[in-house]
Amino acid sequence: MITHGKRATIGPALARLESVARSAGVELLFSDEELEKHGIADADGDVATADVAIVLGGDGTMLRALTRFLGFDVPVIGVNFGRVGFLASIRPTDLEAGVARVFAGDYTIVPLTTLELEVGTVRAAAVNDVVVLSATRGRMVELGWTIGGEDLGLQPCDGMICSTPSGSTAYNLSNGGPVLVRGLDGMAVTFIAAHSLHVRPLVVPRGLELSIRNETPDVRASVLVDGHSVAEIDGGAHAVVRLGDRRALLATLPEATFFRRYRDTFGS
């Protein structure tokens, strides 16, 4: 079980899920963080040995769970208690019926492409995106970028988004970047507020790494992984982003396909 950071957000949902688990004869495993958050007495079990992780929360909680279980072969399915909930496939009102189906094995596993980031000694994995942006509000940065060893010049901008297919419907979409359908093995590169009439997003395949250089001497650049700051780049320094070797495992109900979620979330 992985739940929203604010206990009140999910309300009585945890008790509802525990009731379904008891009826199905399923054992729920809780991390130390979840035990403390919900005031649950210490329980046996290692969450890394779970058959499936169930998330009660929004897309932020889903990202946290998908990252946590990278490399553990544990699929993650969500009950949406957030605003958009694009990664979650169960509505709060359908919790009992949806979770009962999950406990019966009625779900589909979708492997998600991830990104690997290197900044100096910092190494991180992203499920949604890596973003490099000006660390000074109101100041542009000049970012130099190289793909597969080929220099693509300098671009004055507020920043750059490097997005996985699953992350392409998030920050990348709101900046006019392309939507990449789940299953594609590529990375979308989209500039934020580029000071140019000609710059366009680019989709990069596996095997070509992207180097992003901060060419602004007096402005540092912040590096965010899935919305969390992990490093800063001084003038002259760089970050490297590539498609990762590990896949995050998203579980969905069979009918909650990418295109259905896309239509329901972003359609008119």
The residues annotated with a catalytic role in the active site are 59
The DSSP H or E segment spanning 173 is helix 171-174
Cβ–Cβ < 8 Å for 103, 96: no
Are 199 and 161 within 8 A, CB to CB? no
Please give the Cα distance from 114 to 182 (Å, whole number): 11
If you count them, how many residues does the chain have?
Answer: 268
CB count in 10 Å sphere of residue 158: 18
Contact 125, 113 (CB under 8 A): no
**Burial degree of 249 (CB within 10 A; 0-12, 13-18, 19+):** buried
Crossing angle (nearest 10°) for helices 95-103 and 13-24: 40
